[in-house]
Amino acid sequence: MNWVVIKKFSNLCGLTEQAIRANIKKGKWLVDTHFTYSPDGRIYINIKEVEKWIVS
């Protein structure tokens, strides 16, 4: 599974939910690359793409 909700990603990587939302809000993570919105408005994080961002 490549996509997880913010809460699950927070548990996996150790970032707080607030830090994840800040990366999205500040434009550090790109929509449809690092995260996306589901039809119901929930934010899903792409684990593989964020891992690439972390090591870049």
Q: How far apart are CA 1 and CA 19, in angstroms?
A: 22
Compute the CA torsion angle 8, 51, 53, 24 (nearest 10 deg): -10
Domains present along the chain, CATH in parentheses: 3-55 (1.10.1660.60)
pLDDT class of 1 with cuts at 50, 70, 90: confident
What is the pLDDT at residue 35? 98
Q: How many helices (H) and strands (E) does the chain have?
A: 3, 3
Q: Considering only CA atoms, which of 54, 50, 45, 49 is closest in space to residue 7?
A: 45
Q: What digits encode the pLDDT tens for the residues 9-42?
A: 999 999 999 999 999 999 999 999 999 999 999 9
- The beta strand positions in 1-56, using DSSP E, are 3-5, 35-37, 43-46
